[in-house]
Amino acid sequence: MKSLLLFGFLTLSLTVSSQTLIQSVNSGSVIANSSSISVGEIVVVPQNQNQSSTGIIGLLAQTQQALEVPQLELSNKITVFPNPTTATVYFQTETNLTHEKVLVFNITGQLVSEQKIAADNSLDLSILQNGVYLIQFSNKNINSFKIIKH
């Protein structure tokens, strides 16, 4: 009987100390469902709330769910902003694009507008309906790109 009690106490002691050791060695943190964590932080999500030292170790990854396109750089020659736009897009280049001919196509490939770049390197899209458009310069050195108008 004494050996059975001794075995039970030793097992309990080892279990408690191993949980403490696991928590102190863990480089992440034990979190609950309502905790907030940062991108790239290593966390332990408990499988059983009563056993906080056991769980799934994971790394929070960042996902982007917004309808937004970062500033578009094409071949380091041109930057287009804002995208999406409500009316006007601007072009930032090493050279001036004033009076450069631009063709605007809708998503089905139909030509919907033919314009020249304004003096401030801008293109007015206010006459177009909301949608996705392909912008193509008559200058073949600049690649075509998509613009979202909303």
At 110 the pLDDT is 95
- Please give the tally of structural domains in the chain: 2
Looking at the domain assignment, is residue 66 inside a domain?
no
Instruction: Specify whether 76 is located in the same domain as 51.
Output: no
Rounded (5°) CA angle 81-129-117: 45
Domain stop point among 37, 59, 81: 59
Looking at the domain assignment, is residue 143 inside a domain?
yes
At 94 the pLDDT is 83
Query: What is the C-alpha separation between 28 and 12, in angstroms, rounded?
Result: 25
- Amino acid 132 reads V
At 139 the pLDDT is 79
At 113 the pLDDT is 96
Query: What is the C-alpha separation between 146 and 79, in angstroms, rounded?
Result: 12
Residue-wise pLDDT tens digits, 50-94: 555 555 555 445 555 555 656 555 554 788 999 999 999 999 888
Looking at the domain assignment, is residue 16 inside a domain?
yes
Domain carrying residue 52: 2-59
Looking at the domain assignment, is residue 93 inside a domain?
yes
Looking at the domain assignment, is residue 67 inside a domain?
no
Looking at the domain assignment, is residue 31 inside a domain?
yes
Residue 33's Cβ-count burial label (10 Å; 0-12, 13-18, 19+) is exposed
Looking at the domain assignment, is residue 117 inside a domain?
yes
At 14 the pLDDT is 46
Query: What is the C-alpha separation between 46 and 97, in angstroms, rounded?
Result: 59
Instruction: Specify whether 77 is located in the same domain as 130.
Output: yes
Task: Say if residues 99 and 70 touch (Cβ distance below 8 Å).
Answer: no
Which CATH number do you get for residue 108? Answer: 2.60.40.3080
Instruction: Specify whether 36 is located in the same domain as 76.
Output: no
Looking at the domain assignment, is residue 65 inside a domain?
no
At 18 the pLDDT is 41
What is the pTM assigned to this prediction?
A: 0.50
For 144, phi then psi, to 5°, come to -75, 155
The DSSP output letter for 43 is E
Beta strands in 25-127 (DSSP E): 29-30, 42-46, 55-59, 72-74, 78-81, 88-93, 101-106, 111-116, 122-124
Instruction: Specify whether 53 is located in the same domain as 85.
Output: no
Domain stop point among 59, 81, 108: 59
Instruction: Specify whether 55 is located in the same domain as 80.
Output: no
Parts of the chain with a pLDDT under 70: 1-76
